[in-house]
Amino acid sequence: MSTNQSRRDFFKTSATAAGGLVLGFGWFSSEAFEPGVLTKAAADTIDFNAYLAIAPSGIITIYSPNPEIGQGIKTAFPIIVAEELDADWSKVKVEQSPLDTKKFERQLTGGSGAIRHSWERLRKAGATARVMLMEAAAKKWSVPLSECSTSKGFVMHSSGKKLSYGELATDAAQITPPTTVKLKDKSNFTLIGTSVKGVDSKAILTGKNLFGIDYKREGMLNAMIQRPPAFGLKLKSFDATEAKKMPGITDVVSFGNKVAIVGKTTWEVMQARKAVKIEWEKEKDLESSADHDRIFKEMLNSTTATVHRKDGDIEAAFKNAYKVIEAEYQCPFLPHSPMEPMNFFAHFKGDSIEMAGPSQTPQNAQNQIAKMFNIAPEKVTIELTRMGGGFGRRLNTDYAVEAAELSSIIKAPVKVTWSREDDTAGGIYRPAVRYRFKASIDKAGNITGYMLHGAGMNAGNATRPDNFPVGAIENTLIQSNDHKSPITTGPWRAPITNFLAYAEQAFLDEVAMAGGKDPIQLRMELLEKAQKSPVGKLTYEPERFREVIKLAADKAGWGKKKKGVYQGFSVYFSHASYVAQIAEMANVKGKPVLKKVYAAVDCGIVINESSAQNQVYGAIVDGLGHAMYGNLTFKDGAPQQDNFNKYRLIRYNEVPDIEVHFVKNGIDPTGLGEPALPPTGGAIANAIFKTTGKRLYNQPFSEQGATLG
Amino acid sequence: MALFNLKINGKTYKADVDANTPLLWVLRDHLDLVGTKYGCGMAMCGACTVHVNGEATRSCVVPVSNVSNATITTVEGLSETGTHPVQEAWDEVDVPQCGYCQAGQMMTASALLAKNANPSDKEIEEAMVGNICRCGTYHRIHDAVKLAAAKMKK
């Protein structure tokens, strides 16, 4: 990384700077927004390292490598660099880097891991350049470095002299970068922890061409692809005679069980698609939701489960129990439903290919496309567009790879766009899962044994074997079965825990009740046990867990609310962050009505307060909406919901009040794209139970009588 | 195919397209006005909302032939530089996450505010319920509509 590279690698003049490329495509918002300033800056911008360049005009360009999906990374990364650089944020311009595996590691959006992974290297990138600027000034003034300091884009001397970063940029770039550099004391942060608006906001709000679906090139064709309408079917034959005669259509071709309709405009392609006659034939089992219900039960009753973790003697614990509590929880398949449907641009050129589009894993796409054409990865260039959501769907590369393949077949630049129906019914879902829990308690209500058996549809290991309460209980067994279904699955925001957290947290409520304990008291006792005498490997920090619980309980006034307010509690640790939530409901004519959700979050240092709040609100709304309504069902392999008229998403009038609090502990930051979602379903379900006495064992809750708003 | 002269954002645009082509795709594919987004194609999500004679309209289900004499405004026409009170409010409240739905959200909100300078929470809800935000920025959308209303009163 930056601090280990030679000056030669650091110093690049405008000829090789990203500026030319950026302006060429008019692609990046911050560029497009003030072309006058940026044209000038780009013309003589000086790169200091992979992350930043400074122009003599004083404009600082910070390159943001990770794909922006709405998690705010394109703003958060530059904030960290600018903090250590002591830059004036009003002079900072942010550019999205294309995929560049030589400059950057982990150009990936997933697992809430970007900040955790890059925190230190971003700080070093800014701090290194800052030292170079200070050295350049010290040299110019012939003063010792120790007499120089920096503030808001200036190097200052104790005598009162000062020079701007712009004035120093050319000289500073000649300085050999230090191999080690001192980072700021966290108490001196002035930008980190404040509220900084999204760097693309102005471009978003004026309708600029930021997203993959907006991408256009000279001579580009548009395509849509008909994929098998049910999982388990394959292409038998097709007749495109009529379709090919339709206006604007240039080609209808088939590859890999698909038929692609290519033409000048999206609408013409959509019309011609209806005229293609396609026959499909059965290749694998055509599963229905009723089959899944049966298969779940078979898996949970089988003796072939894979054991993931075992502590103590679970059988003895159950045998000697004062009471045994058992329950099963089930969730359906879910599509991701990003507002921007899948799409990708590809231009195959024989020995190379240019790609552009929304991807959470551009490097995977690059590797797969390179392999498909038997060319070197660097022959596959990928521009990263802003993503209109993704929620894990764009961690799969299918839609980029098929665009590449189509371009190679038709030998033309083409953008493939999925319709909403394609996007919803075209596969790769959150897997459907069913869990069986069994716990034993002693006379005092303490848990003596805990078993979790997961059964998934292409879920892999549907459990998270080291997650709380494992580590706090003497006897545990965590195991799973998986069914290989033709229905395709993949990560969905907070994979596995997006449902497992609800099931575990609801079950813990059942156990607390059976043992006569308050739900928070039960968890606090378990965490105390995990801290004092952990059982086996412990992957979470009990003290941080307890802090978020205390904060949530304090803010929501747990147990102190007036009559008519019913509270449900949930807490979860995922993606290295801790989140506790308390849902409050009212009983309106026998119906539970959600009024408010409190959240307490420990993600370490908050980089951008406004963005962090936005993420937590959004994750709660997402968790609530999908717990209430999300349900993708199947008949003979075919999804039964394919657009928002049948597949319900939460709307404006259905969100409760939300109040978010962050633990301020100064610990290095972890992730926030996912961790606030898992606890929500449990908090809601536990509040519903308090309100109505009814325990909900299946999602979606709306199909079991729960309503919103 | 037929030639249409469309009045959009105070300019006249020519489009030679099939009369049934939805306004959405004329804007996006023929006129390079890509701020208006495709979301569902069946008026269920509101991502494609534009103003037709001042009314918030789902452009994905309106054939271009129906609007050939209409006055059309897209997000690009609210203001090019983000100075419309709704755009300013959306920016100040820092509404967007992914940002894809926000053009449609703002077009719905601006049509509401043009007719009703002081909408109640219930009236805001009735207007905004047709626009889905998958990232869940509804609270900030609410705050931004309120702020925009306050700005427009000044």
Q: What is the ipTM of this complex?
A: 0.98
* Distance set, CA A565 to CA A14, A502, A556, A583, A682 (Å): 63, 21, 11, 10, 17
| Dihedral sign of CA atoms A186, A190, A195, A198 in order | negative
- Interatomic CA distance for residues B42 and B22, integer angstroms: 11
Q: What does the alpha-carbon distance between residue A219 and residue A414 come to, in Å, rounded to a whole number?
A: 9
Chain A residue with Cα closest to B23? A267
Nearest to A23 by CA among A31, A15, A13: A31
| pLDDT exceeds 60 at position A5 | no
Chain A contact set for B72 (CB, 8 A): none
**Is the confidence at residue A695, as pLDDT, over 90?**
yes
Of the candidates B51, B74, B97, which is a domain's last residue?
B74
B7 and B70 in a single domain? The answer is: yes
Q: Which domain holds residue B49?
A: 2-74
A420 interaction partners in chain B (CB closer than 8 Å): 39-42
Residue A3 has pLDDT above 90, yes or no: no
pLDDT band at A218; cut points 50, 70, 90: very high
CA distance linking residue A499 with residue A696, whole number of Å: 13
State yes or no: pLDDT of A332 exceeds 70. yes
Residue of A nearest to B21 (CA): A267
What's B46's domain CATH number? 3.10.20.30
Amino acid letter at A399? Y
Residues A223, A406 contacting (CB under 8 angstroms): yes
Q: Tell me chain B's radius of gyration from C-alpha atoms.
A: 15
| 3-class SS of residue A576 | coil
DSSP character string of A671-709: --SSTTSHHHHHHHHHHHHHHHS----BS-GGGGT----
| pLDDT at residue A16, rounded to an integer | 27
- Pairing label, strands A638-639, A634-635: antiparallel
C-alpha–C-alpha distance, residues A125 and A242, integer Å = 59
How far apart, in whole angstroms, are the C-alpha atoms of residue A565 and residue A584? 6
Question: Which tokens in the block code for residue A557?
Answer: 């006034």
Q: Do B98 and A420 touch (CB under 8 A)?
A: no
The first and second tokens of residue A301, run together, are: 């009753």
Domain membership of residue B110 (yes or no) is: yes
Under a CB-based contact definition with an 8 Å cutoff, are residues A483 and A355 in contact? no
- pLDDT band at residue B50 under the 50/70/90 scheme: very high
pLDDT value, residue B101: 98
The answer to whether residues B114 and B70 belong to one domain is no
pLDDT digits (tens, 9 = 90+) for B102-124: 999 999 999 999 999 999 999 99
Rounded Cα–Cα distance for residues A89 and A329 (Å):
49
With contact defined as beta carbons under 8 Å apart, do B103 and B58 qualify? no
A206 C-beta neighbours (distance < 10 Å), count: 24
**E strands within A458-516?**
475-483
Interchain CB distance below 8 Å, B97 and A70:
yes
pLDDT in tens, B51-67: 999 999 999 999 999 99
pLDDT score of A572 more than 80: yes
**Does the structure show a pLDDT above 60 at A27?**
no
Mean pLDDT over each residue of chain A, to the nearest integer: 92
Q: B35 and A211 in contact by Cβ < 8 A?
A: no
Residue A17 has what pLDDT? 30
Question: Contacts of residue B98 in chain A, CB cutoff 8 Å?
Answer: 69-70, 338-340, 386-390
Q: Would you state the pLDDT for residue A307?
A: 98
- Distances A253 to A225, A407, A474 between C-alpha atoms, Å: 9, 11, 61
> Are residues A586 and A656 in contact, defined by beta-carbon separation less than 8 angstroms?
no
Q: A with B: how many residue pairs have Cβ under 8 Å apart?
A: 178
User: What is the C-alpha separation between A214 and A407, in angstroms, rounded?
Assistant: 18
CA distance A130 to A114: 23
B134:A652 CB<8 A: no
Question: How many angstroms separate the CA atoms of A200 and A209, rounded?
Answer: 11
Q: Are residues B49 and B109 in the same domain?
A: no
A308 touches A478 (CB < 8 A): yes
| CA separation for the pair A509, A515 (Å, rounded) | 10
Length of chain B: 154
CB contact under 8 A, A69 and B98: yes
The answer, yes or no, to whether residue A407 has pLDDT greater than 60, is yes
Mean pLDDT of A662-667: 97
Tell whether B26 is covered by a domain: yes
State CA A629 to chain mean position distance: 21
Residue B30 resides in a domain: yes
* B79 belongs to a structural domain: no
Mean pLDDT of the region B20-37: 98
Whether B80 is covered by a domain: the verdict is: no
Of B33, B50, B74, the domain-final residue: B74
Integer-rounded Cα Rg, in Å, for chain A is 28
Q: What is the pLDDT of residues A580-621, one digit of tens each?
A: 999 999 999 888 999 999 999 999 999 999 999 999 999 999
B93 with B143, same domain: the answer is yes
**pLDDT confidence bin for A709, thresholds 50/70/90:** low
Amino acid at A709: G
Task: Provide the pairing of β-strand A475-483 with A447-457.
Answer: parallel
A120-129, A425-434, B92-101: least confidently modelled range: A120-129
Q: Is the CB of B103 less than 8 angstroms away from the CB of A207?
A: yes
How far is the C-alpha of B26 from the C-alpha of A231, rounded, in Å?
34
A614 vs B90, B140, B142: nearest CB: B140
Q: Work out the pLDDT band at B91, boundaries 50, 70, 90.
A: very high
Q: What is the pLDDT of residues A353-399, one digit of tens each?
A: 999 999 999 999 999 999 999 999 999 999 999 999 999 999 999 99
Q: Are A644 and B40 inside 8 Å of each other by CB?
A: yes
Q: How far apart are CA A360 and CA A108, in angstroms?
A: 5
pLDDT of residue A104: 86
Checking if the pLDDT of A21 tops 80, the result is no
Domain shared by B109 and B62, yes or no: no
Out of B90, B99, B125, the one facing A653 most closely (by C-beta) is B125
Do B69 and B93 fall within a single domain? no
With beta carbons under 8 A apart, name residues in chain B contacting A386.
Answer: 98-99
Same domain, B94 and B43: no
Chain B residues whose CB is inside 8 A of the A197 CB are 91, 94
pLDDT of residue A10: 28
From chain B, the residues in CB contact with A619 under 8 A are 136
Contact of A410 with A251, CB cutoff 8 Å: yes
Average pLDDT over residues A82-94: 95
Q: Are residues B123 and B68 in the same domain?
A: no
* pLDDT at residue A103, rounded to an integer: 85
Q: To the nearest whole angstrom, how far is the Cα of A48 from the nearest Cα of chain B?
A: 30
Residue A74 has pLDDT above 90, yes or no: yes
* Token pair for A450: 């805990």
Report the half-sphere exposure of A229 (CA within 13 A, side-chain side).
9
For A502-543, what is each residue's pLDDT tens digit? 999 999 999 999 999 999 999 999 999 999 999 999 999 999
Tell me what pLDDT residue A44 has.
66
- At residue A23, does pLDDT exceed 80? no
Residue A4: predicted pLDDT? 32
Shared-domain flag, residues B65 and B92:
no
Contact B42 A389 (CB under 8 A): no
pLDDT confidence of residue A49: 83
Same domain? For B35 and B98 the reply is no
- pTM (2 d.p.): 0.94
Number of domains in chain B: 2
Q: Is the pLDDT of residue A6 over 70?
A: no
**Closest Cα in chain A, distance from residue B138 (Å):** 5
Q: Are strands A92-96 and A60-64 parallel, antiparallel or unpaired?
A: parallel
Distance CA A216, CA B124 (A): 36
- The whole-angstrom separation of Cα A601 and Cα A673 is 12
Within a domain: residue B141? yes
Which residue, A694, A433, A440, is CA-closest to A568?
Answer: A694
Strand partners, A477: A310, A451
Contact flag B94-A195 (C-beta cutoff 8 Å): yes
Which residue, of B23, B42, B74, is where some domain finishes? B74
pLDDT at A19: 23
- With a pLDDT cut of 90, the percent of chain B lying above it is 98
Name which residue leads in pLDDT, A602 or B1. A602
The CATH number linked to B116 is: 1.10.150.120
Answer for the pair A621, B138: CB distance below 8 angstroms, yes or no: yes
Instruction: Verify that B93 and B133 share a domain, yes or no.
Output: yes
**β-strand A162-164 against A221-226: which pairing, if any?**
unpaired
Q: What is the reported pLDDT for A108?
A: 86
Residue pair B97/B135 in contact by the 8 Å Cβ criterion: yes
Give which of B62, B135, B142, B145 to mutate to test A binding, by max A Cβ within 10 Å: B135
Residues B12 and B69 in one domain: yes
How crowded is residue A274: how many other Cβ atoms within 10 Å of its Cβ? 11
In this structure, what are the phi and psi dihedrals at residue B97, rounded to the nearest 5 degrees?
Answer: -105, -90
**What pLDDT band is residue A13 in, cutting at 50, 70 and 90?**
very low
CA distance B100 to A388: 5
Taking CA–CA distances from B92, the nearest residue in chain A reads A197
Inform me whether the pLDDT recorded for A38 exceeds 80: no
CA-nearest residue to A342 within chain B is B39
Instruction: Give yes or no for residue A188 having a pLDDT over 60.
Output: yes
Q: How far is CA A141 from the centre of its chain?
A: 48
Give the chain B residue whose CA is nearest to the CA of A214. B34
pLDDT band per the 50, 70, 90 thresholds, residue A204? very high
Split at pLDDT 50, 70, 90, the class of A8 is: very low
